[in-house]
Structure 1
Amino acid sequence: MHAGTATATASVATAALMGVGMLLMSAPGAPLPDAPAARAAVQRADPARHPARHPAGAVARAPRVYAHRGASAYAPENTLVAADRADALGFAWVENDVQLTRDGVPVVLHDTGLKRTTNAEEVFPDRAPWAVKDFTAAEISRLDAGSWFGARYAGTRVPTLRRFLERLGRNRQNLLLELKSPETYPGIERATLAVLDEEGWLDRAHVRDRLVVQSFGAGSLRRVHALRPDVVTGFLGAPAPAELPAYAGFADQINPSRSGLSGGYVAAVHALKGPHGKKLQVNPWVVDDAASARKVNAMGVDGIITDAPDVVRAATKG
């Protein structure tokens, strides 16, 4: 997904009772203690501003925060440095983008071209338009993927998916993996699943709690679901409400752009169950400022995908 226009269980679950003047926090992964009397008092005092958004007895939780391309507001996107930065900030969920090289190696890179975030034009001046699919993994490994972001990151490399998974494993982080432009890379689903399997990411614990595969390509997600029905999947986009039941057959999440998102749409998604028998989730992207984070949180979203995870965490805690 574009930063400019843009399961897994929660790794760090905190929540705030909306409208109440104090912040209540829980241990990671545990539900918050509820305060129905206090909340009801606030709602009675001003029901227009403080509607009863949650059913009686329900527990309000903060949304899961996904570090988009790593903590990409603070380090070069889709690199090991960005994953480490998200870890240092305390975020367990990292989003990345996967593409295939000319020799079929899954690499972690957003653009289908190499110009914006690497020095490919300088290293390979005669290889325009510098498409990822036209370069081998060995050639891409020579590129500087950090200097564009800042001199201190000079020499940062484009990681293979295998190296990225190794780093997440070391950090004990989880992965929201996007299959990028699957129409450009026939076989990307099988190749990506193969690496995930080889690195131990398709065992029961990872599939249940630590991995989501998403894509803008509905056909690509259907292939993933056919190959590995146990894997949690997310569709990137906002299908019309009438089309949502069809997507619920192969997607566990509907992850739209925050632009135009409404509480009504979130409710329409939540009314359906996905292929694993659980309520469909909604995780909008890319939400980088506090006001937008609070706005989508008030709609009842399940998670937020952001370049600045610390900003979103602070905004949605209370």
Structure 2
Amino acid sequence: MYARVVAATLAAALGTAAVLLSPTSDARAREDGVPVVIAHRGASAYAPENTLAAIDKAAELGFSWVENDVQRTKDGELVVLHDDSLQRTTNVEDVFPGRAPWKVRDFTAAEIARLDAGSWFSPAYAGARVPTLQQYMRRVEHNHEKLLLEIKNPELYPGIEQQTLKLLGNEGWLDGRHLGRLVVQSFSADSVRAVHELKPAVTTAYLGTPTVAQLPGLARFTDLVNPSYGSLSRGYVSAVHVFHGPHGRRLKLFAWTVNDAAGTRMVAAYGVDGIITNKPDVVRAALGSD
């Protein structure tokens, strides 16, 4: 019975010529049939990733959606950084040479604030800092941007979901005006589920390429499935679109990380709802949406 229902629903989905757009969020559907473009860690091909400069660059290029990563310091501050180590994108080895392997959770917020997070990328960005999540949210708000926020390595930071949501609430990002500008995602299904259970109104996304058999379970607490673009096919995208998430909307799919024209055109033809990229201008040009 279940297989017949899914097959019938899939056939209907494939026969649908248009997608109804939600009035509150272009994270929920393709804009005018064109995938949403999300600047990965900000416009990270052109400015140091996850810094305020990177989201400023995305805004300068004309992109409203940015993606970032959140982790927690030794003294409980939420900071924006991709790796669980400070080594790759700061000068931590020079400032704290005896503290390998330089894990985020082993440093206080004050210590991290001393680090240069820009010189590794370019001398032009010397002195850029690792922003706290509060600083980052305030800059996103100032730039009138929208945010795809990844809870990174939640297994290292028990309770980070609740802490992140509390900060977002304190910054005004959990009201009706902001909820359409926010998606919270993670590679951890447990973390995504926790966010949904704590704040059911928040749009959530699961990072990865779950099997089709796993989609019904994920659809109970996630609104989007965001896989690596190399794992995709037209059939997989169509299968994701069959299911409806916890808010009654069709599951959407954002593909990452696409940085060239050929990849852009491929995933757009598959029917993805969004494209996460270090080079948003390249993706926009390939989509013909300049």
* Same topology, TM > 0.5: yes
Distance across 1 between alignment mates of 2:127 and 2:181: 30
Distance across 1 between alignment mates of 2:246 and 2:287: 29
1:205 counterpart residue number: 177
Contact 1:238–1:255 under 8 Å retained in 2: yes
Distance across 1 between alignment mates of 2:288 and 2:217: 34
Give the partner amino acid of 1:233.
T
Give the partner amino acid of 1:284.
A
Give 3-state SS (helix, strand or coil) of 2:63's partner.
coil
Give the partner amino acid of 2:81.
L
Give 3-state SS (helix, strand or coil) of 1:259's partner.
helix
1:47 counterpart residue number: none
Distance across 2 between alignment mates of 1:138 and 1:194: 21
1:289 counterpart residue number: 260
1:9 deviation in Å?
1.6
Contact 2:209–2:231 under 8 Å retained in 1: no
1:204 deviation in Å?
1.1
| Partner of residue 221 from structure 2, selected from 243, 247, 250 | 250
| Partner of residue 68 from structure 2, selected from 79, 84, 96 | 96
Distance across 2 between alignment mates of 1:239 and 1:133: 29
2:136 counterpart residue number: 164
Give 3-state SS (helix, strand or coil) of 2:255's partner.
coil
Contact 1:62–1:317 under 8 Å retained in 2: no
Higher Rg: 1
Distance across 1 between alignment mates of 2:112 and 2:67: 21
Distance across 1 between alignment mates of 2:50 and 2:264: 22
1:260 deviation in Å?
2.3
Distance across 2 between alignment mates of 1:142 and 1:192: 23
Instruction: Report runs of 4+ in structure 1 exceeding 6 Å deviation.
Output: none
Distance across 1 between alignment mates of 2:92 and 2:151: 22
Give the partner amino acid of 1:95.
E
CA displacement, residues 212-235 of structure 1 (integer Å, 9 cap, x when unaligned): 000000000111011000000000
Q: What does 1:1-318 align with in structure 2 at a 5 Å threshold?
A: 9-10=25-26, 31=32, 61-207=33-179, 209-317=180-288
How many matched pairs? 266
Distance across 2 between alignment mates of 1:288 and 1:78: 17
1:131 deviation in Å?
0.1
Distance across 1 between alignment mates of 2:222 and 2:97: 42
Give the partner amino acid of 2:210.
P
Name the TM-score, length of structure 2 as normaliser: 0.90
CA displacement, residues 218-277 of structure 1 (integer Å, 9 cap, x when unaligned): 000111011000000000001100110000001000000011200000000000000000
1:104 deviation in Å?
1.1
Contact 1:104–1:191 under 8 Å retained in 2: no
Give 3-state SS (helix, strand or coil) of 1:159's partner.
coil
Give 3-state SS (helix, strand or coil) of 2:142's partner.
helix
Distance across 1 between alignment mates of 2:207 and 2:74: 25
2:18 counterpart residue number: none
Give the partner amino acid of 1:107.
V
Distance across 2 between alignment mates of 1:260 and 1:189: 28
Distance across 2 between alignment mates of 1:10 and 1:275: 17
Distance across 2 between alignment mates of 1:239 and 1:293: 22
Unaligned runs of 5+ in 1: 1-6, 16-28, 32-60
Give the partner amino acid of 1:264.
G
Contact 2:225–2:254 under 8 Å retained in 1: yes
CA displacement, residues 186-208 of structure 1 (integer Å, 9 cap, x when unaligned): 1110111111011000111111x
1:317 deviation in Å?
2.1
Unaligned runs of 5+ in 2: 1-21
1:51 counterpart residue number: none
Distance across 2 between alignment mates of 1:233 and 1:316: 26
Give 3-state SS (helix, strand or coil) of 2:225's partner.
strand
Identity of aligned residues (%): 61
CA displacement, residues 12-53 of structure 1 (integer Å, 9 cap, x when unaligned): x9x9xxxxxxxxxxxxx6x4xxxxxxxxxxxxxxxxxxxxxx
2:15 counterpart residue number: none
Distance across 2 between alignment mates of 1:288 and 1:183: 30
1:126 deviation in Å?
1.2
1:103 deviation in Å?
1.0
Distance across 2 between alignment mates of 1:137 and 1:145: 14
1:76 deviation in Å?
0.1
1:72 deviation in Å?
0.1
